Amino acid sequence: MPHTTAHQGQLAPERTGEPCVLLKLGEIVLKGRNRRQFERILHQNIRAAARETGVPVDLCLRAGVIMARVADGTLRGEAGRAEAAARLAERMRDVPGIVRVCQPLRVARTAQAVVDAAVALTADKDGTFAVRPRRRDKRFPLTSAELAVLVGREIQNAHGLGVDLRHPDTEVFIEVDTEEVFVFTGGLPGQGGLPVGMSGRAVALMSGGIDSPVAAYRMMRRGLRCSFVHFSGIPLTGPESIFKAYALVRGLDRFQGRSRLFVVPFGKAQQALASSGADRLQIMAQRRLMLKTGAALANRLGGSALITGDSLGQVSSQTLANITALDDAVTLPILRPLIGWDKSEIMAEGRRIGTLAISELPDQDCCTLLTPRRVETRARIDDLRRIEGRLDVADLAEELAMSAQEYRQ
């Protein structure tokens, strides 16, 4: 990646430095090939996300950080560049693989330039401050301690702020790099995790409920690119659950981009299972058919796992015995990131990522159709296979996958 190491040109002519975006990378324990892959995929994802903002960027890799500069010549003036950098920074907070997003001024490697930027950045601050210098490049003429003393004294002189190294109101970070120095206050958390795509692809089973979007998000964050499948009770139910699934996928799309949702009309297949005597096993037989259909889709899309929002014991289909019977339905691994989560924890996460409000809209889930009076909590695999045998369920799953209607974001 020559563009990551090449010299990045002149500093922009702003008085106190060039507003840019500094992205701190997670999982820095990664070594060698994994690390290069991490960086390569993250670069692609950052570029794709940046494109949506309309801000042209130059990306440069430094040790453990990526610097995103607003490309030269496209925006004039300090205000335009600062506004573009802020827009870019906000968008980067949703890109998995980035742990922290900062908005520094990028200045020349001189003590005076650092002082000017630090004084400018603290002009509107009150209370106390601390200077936190760090040298990624040790060839800088001042030590970290010398920098802290120098910059601290100048900020005090300029604004009369007090120093408090333990609990300051404002931290002034100075990061000395090979080509430049970054000076900033604050910074915001990113998503952390791994870049989407680094772990391959999977198909997420997406109801209109609370759990499945959170489950998909957690796996995206571990580097899986997700396609989504939703089973609608149509024509036996209304289309509301489809609208919800679509809205949920749309909400999650900002974490990965280019999301695909497949909607499977499932009502008739549910009736067929009921007619073949599923009875107390109706829910379990439906869930197995969903998984088999998901596996058929995964096969078509190059996915190597399924994702569900199962949480141990939360509902009757999620007892250990029933989970075992669900695993038996497909050869693909079924990833259940929420298996050990309480409902309150899942809801808090759904609120944080913005899916909860959509999940809570009313709809009629296909699972509420044809629900038996008593639900089996210890389904026997043999019984389920017998019901499926009467229906030629492998073909049915293929047909359902073929009948899926695709919605792209």
β partners of residue 66: 23, 61
- Tokens representing 238 are 């209304």
Both tokens of residue 291?
């998984």
- List residues binding Mg ion (CB under 5 A): 207, 209
Nearer to ligand ATP, 207 or 282 (CB): 207
The SS3 of residue 19 is strand
CB-wise, 182 or 228, nearer to ligand ATP? 228
- Residue 26 or 209 having the CB closest to Mg ion: 209
Other CB atoms within 10 A of residue 188 CB: 12
Q: Among Mg ion, ligand ATP, none, what binds residue 212 when CB lies within 5 to 8 Å by partner kind? A: ligand ATP
Q: Which of 117, 139, 151 is nearest to 11 (CA)?
A: 117
Minimum CB separation of residue 359 from ligand ATP in Å reads: 7
Closest CA to 389 of 378, 401, 381: 381
Nearer to Mg ion (CB atom), residue 45 or residue 317: 317
Nearest distance from residue 278's CB to Mg ion, in Å? 18
Closer of 209 and 233 to Mg ion (Cβ)? 209
For 26, 184, 235, 409, the CA distances from 240, given in Å and listed in that order, are 39, 47, 12, 18
Residue nearest ligand ATP, Cβ-based? 209
Shortest Cβ 317–ligand ATP spacing (Å): 5
Question: Beta-carbon neighbour count of residue 404 at 10 Å?
Answer: 19
DSSP state of 56: -
Q: CB 175 → ligand ATP: shortest distance, Å?
A: 42
To ligand ATP, the closest distance from the beta carbon of 390 in angstroms equals 23
Q: Contact, 60 vs 67, CB < 8 A?
A: yes
Residue ranges binding ligand ATP (CB under 6 A): 205-207, 209-212, 230-231, 290, 308-310, 314-315, 317, 365-367
Between 19 and 213, whose beta carbon lies closer to Mg ion?
Answer: 213
The minimum distance between CB 83 and ligand ATP, in angstroms, equals 39
In angstroms, the CA 400 to CA 397 distance is 5
43 binds, among ligand ATP, Mg ion, none (CB under 5 to 8 A by kind): none
